[in-house]
Structure 1
């Protein structure tokens, strides 16, 4: 009888695991979707860093975003380091560098806790740099982590605040962590035991690749160390990203489930100072469980068992007060934060969940509905084959979002030379036979972005009274914008309309606007953020991604702060720049109606009011279909601008006030207040 009951429980857990697997595929993504994200990130990083060689810097997307997660609330982590400065573990390694070309830094771990080091500057340094960056100990100049972080946080283009080893800033509604650091080409001696542990996972070629790329030093010391303000932590972010890439999909989803468990149960409602466990602890637990082969078979039917084993390991660590770093086990990551009463309180809470059993997963809103649906039906067969799960439109949505909004796209501070460098880099890479279809699409989109930026920058930077030269520049700009539209999506034609409006060709601009209207009215169109896909699969299915994007995808119009597209939006771009937003994101229908109103003012004043009524109806009554919630600030603002230019100042004042009441996604409040002040004077 007991064996029958045990078998029934086993089957129920398997069914529950399968349902959670499906839920996690919806929440985190299928293996195909995650692989696509990584492909796109990798090619973006490669292009960006090829171009940034002239700036002698390398940038790497790290953290959850770099690993392939796109869960709501995930911050963006970026590591930035100089390509000129070289860090070594012992003096014998200096033979690989030229001190004349590369300033050398020596790691000194003799007086630091495991996982931390001091950085001794071997190269000569000026008195001024010494005061700004260094601290003198034992007649040697050491680079102070606290001074270094203070400098990076105070840089005007970041306007950031310290957060651990990072400089944190807000871009719209997203927090971006910049970790300025140093790269070390050599594997740390203190992590040599990790290489010896890698018998079965990861595979030898992954181990070799990790060791070959070394590690990084980030600006934060151990809170219990003797030199907390000057120490640096040894970071294995690149190695960890490669390890996450080496996971199978069940292992990756287990890691994702632990992250949800952490954010939606353990840390739910807590301030940053109250949070004791973090995502890094979850990831470390998964690493240890995989490498120690505690679980023999990672598969959808065992997903909850895998989660439970990881959870019990974390519970054990909290009980003992020891969380060993995966690469340097002597580095106890609980030492400075989880001890005493806090440790006891956390253990009691976790143990209460342990006693409750797997049913505590019902407290995770993201997956609760799946468990409730499937738990009472143990005989139900649940499809976990990712090939047959109906996620096709979801995949398309995610692909276009990744292609269009990836953080490595060149956004700002580009000149003609920079645009040319980008185009040469892309031209060199696009012929590679190793490109995946997603990487090719990303390069195509990147080309469109650069061509578009070049067209407007060329117009801005060319000051001449010579008609022939102005004509040539104008012809080049128009050609680049049309070419960019061929590489892009439906709404990329809007940039051509803006250019025609800017150059006083209102009839041509209106003809482009009419073409865009016709294309957007088709039922197959997918708008990123909100989709209407009844005809999408039927009409577009089977065609190339490039064709799908060009014929059936609409996206927000992205205006970079340092390029003047149309004069009417310059105050908003300047406001965004002052608040350290690099772009304005405008819903396509909003900008379409705005351009229509501005053009009709010059060619057919009778039709201005009709276009204004259409815009007003859209802004007042849209339920999130054409205007995403995060775009309502700029939408009300543009309505106000159009009402202002047509002379309805009272309505414009109301619209500006409404703009201030929305979520400040685009950071245009400075411009809004300025326009309100203008309205108050005029009234």
Structure 2
């Protein structure tokens, strides 16, 4: 058995675990386009960073965001001020004279205006006003949701099972002088056009100081987050998988079962090692047959850094990222531990559950031929599952402002005329369908409160809303048909609602339907294989229905939306099959009592007996709640009470407990 064969086997396994080139490209394309759409007219830019931005979808990874105000800019010397209108932009001047490499002080000139929380973060020093990183972090933290914590420069909070890290920062349009040597160092990698793109986009400063600096509470760290994801994008797939393997190696071997405070290495050190290994040409070629050789090169580099106690930042090598953490006794004992792994050779990877299975297959069958062709590795159905799931994670808007919706629509119009990748086209189609739905319900709310006495305007607004919702159903998922059914129900057109529900019911019952990540791959391929993603989306894909908590869709669910909103949740998530039976029941109540009872019976069977197929475990709270509401409406008070009590026992995904307790109180008293 050759090392090359083992490398190819691990390459295939890592493609299945981390993603193939097409999968990684689709993830990046979709995230980049949605980020552009969401930030087009915002006063504060929200940018995805970290592993999600880079194209990873590893279980348990944090979701990292950077937020910065668009009307503040960091400059490195006064000559750069000529590029700004100081009446519109607040300029912040860097002063790195008293800071360690990679850190800076931010000086706010007195004559310039800044937003309130920036002024509140200022301290007087050396005859000037300096923005304190610790105070700025605390002020942003004070306005966060309950349960948030400060973690380094970030404010962390939990959304379901995912942990979000939000780093409040400032942007500089200019490349920092302390990183100028990096430009001269880029001879072989990255390519000149990547270097130019990175430099012209500048950097950020994030709110944390150096632990050993003289002004830890005031200093800011220079962040190259945008540059880093562009470097990761420029890697070939073997290099990207090497980085992914190092992340798994760190999580499953080095940091396994360690407390957070005992972890000396982090994912950023792994990324830095890959960057240096590629740029220094330590491995002449990176391709599947030498994936393990690439991993070994990076591991030896990490070992050397720990031995010397020096981890040079990729952009500012003078910034030793081990300086405050890896030294003395902890450094010596950690090096011994890593060296023991080094002595085991590549077999140490057998201790990683994610990598072990890739190696064992070749160990058991040394003559095994490994195929690294992407189309063999990932079937059409499997690729589609990941593609649509990625689209789902970006498929929401958070605005109740009609003008804001129109601005989104104008941006979509601009994008349609620009060059887009195939993944961005299908993502933009789904985004547009969602946007139509938002405009329709926003217009409906606006119409209700502003034009209540103007019949002609109400009629026109209603026609526009109906037309937009029909477009949503035409271009979106199968589950997007529910929005027009809900609108018809809300406007007392029960027969029209039932007509849409009947069509939706047939589509949801198809054996090839893809719901979230569940699908019969063989039937899916037979039914829609080879067709465009646009066609697949409209005929064979459904997702959980999202109700924006700022809007009214179904009057019966207003208490649940209010409860969720009070807990800082933006949306309510409902399984499509549950919503189907609810809409069927509440609509038939006005048309046919017997069929209403049949719909309620179907809903009861579904909620009581489903094994996580149509009612995901994480959405049982709203599913039991909806069953209780329908039973309550029907007069089945004991059954309703039982359903509400069951709702309280489920995972609080939608944060509706306040509404549930109020409904129980109303039933009992």
Q: TM-score, normalised by structure 1?
A: 0.94
Q: Structure 2 residue aligned with 1:135, among 99, 120, 123?
A: 123
Distance in 1 between the 2:369 and 2:117 partners?
A: 67
Render the CA deviation track for 1:168-227: whole Å, top value 9, x for unaligned.
222232222221211111111111111111110001111111111111000001111111
**Aligned residue in 1 for 2:666:** 678
For the pair 1:456 / 2:441, whether they are aligned, the reply is yes
For the pair 1:18 / 2:5, whether they are aligned, the reply is no
Aligned residue for 2:244, secondary structure, equals helix
For the pair 1:78 / 2:68, whether they are aligned, the reply is no
1:497 CA displacement: 0.9
Asked if the contact 1:48/1:410 (under 8 Å) is kept, the reply is no
C-alpha spacing 1:130/1:192, structure 2 compared with 1 (3 Å): closer
For the pair 1:63 / 2:50, whether they are aligned, the reply is yes
Correspondence 1:428-447 to 2 at 5 A: 428-432=414-418, 434-447=419-432
Asked if the contact 1:276/1:337 (under 8 Å) is kept, the reply is yes
Q: Name the stretch that deviates more: 135-144 or 666-675.
A: 666-675
**Aligned residue in 2 for 1:427:** 413
Render the CA deviation track for 1:298-341: whole Å, top value 9, x for unaligned.
11111111111111211221222211111111111111122233
Render the CA deviation track for 1:48-80: whole Å, top value 9, x for unaligned.
22232xxx3322211111111111112211112
Asked if the contact 1:103/1:122 (under 8 Å) is kept, the reply is no
Aligned residue for 1:602, secondary structure, equals coil
**Aligned residue in 2 for 1:245:** 233
Q: Structure 1 residue aligned with 2:91, among 85, 101, 104?
A: 104
Asked if the contact 2:86/2:112 (under 8 Å) is kept, the reply is no
Correspondence 1:573-652 to 2 at 5 A: 573-652=561-640
Aligned residue for 2:572, secondary structure, equals strand
Correspondence 1:344-359 to 2 at 5 A: 344-359=332-347
**Aligned residue in 1 for 2:457:** 469
Asked if the contact 1:530/1:628 (under 8 Å) is kept, the reply is no
**Aligned residue in 2 for 1:39:** 29
Q: Name the stretch that deviates more: 237-246 or 190-199.
A: 190-199
**Aligned residue in 1 for 2:326:** 338
C-alpha spacing 1:674/1:337, structure 2 compared with 1 (3 Å): farther
Asked if the contact 2:273/2:298 (under 8 Å) is kept, the reply is yes
C-alpha spacing 1:617/1:335, structure 2 compared with 1 (3 Å): same
Correspondence 1:400-419 to 2 at 5 A: 400-406=388-394, 409-419=395-405
Render the CA deviation track for 1:399-432: whole Å, top value 9, x for unaligned.
11122221xx552233110111111111121012
Render the CA deviation track for 1:281-314: whole Å, top value 9, x for unaligned.
1100100110111111211111111111111211
Distance in 2 between the 1:131 and 1:49 partners?
A: 25
Asked if the contact 1:216/1:235 (under 8 Å) is kept, the reply is yes
C-alpha spacing 1:269/1:674, structure 2 compared with 1 (3 Å): farther
Aligned residue for 1:107, secondary structure, equals strand
**Aligned residue in 2 for 1:4:** none
1:542 CA displacement: 2.0
Q: TM-score, normalised by structure 2?
A: 0.96
Aligned residue for 2:364, secondary structure, equals coil
**Aligned residue in 1 for 2:479:** 491
Asked if the contact 2:16/2:377 (under 8 Å) is kept, the reply is no
Correspondence 1:281-296 to 2 at 5 A: 281-296=269-284
Distance in 2 between the 1:85 and 1:126 partners?
A: 10
Asked if the contact 2:117/2:139 (under 8 Å) is kept, the reply is no
C-alpha spacing 1:284/1:458, structure 2 compared with 1 (3 Å): same
**Aligned residue in 1 for 2:521:** 533
**Aligned residue in 2 for 1:177:** 165
State the number of aligned residues: 665
Gaps of 5+ in 2: none
**Aligned residue in 1 for 2:111:** 124
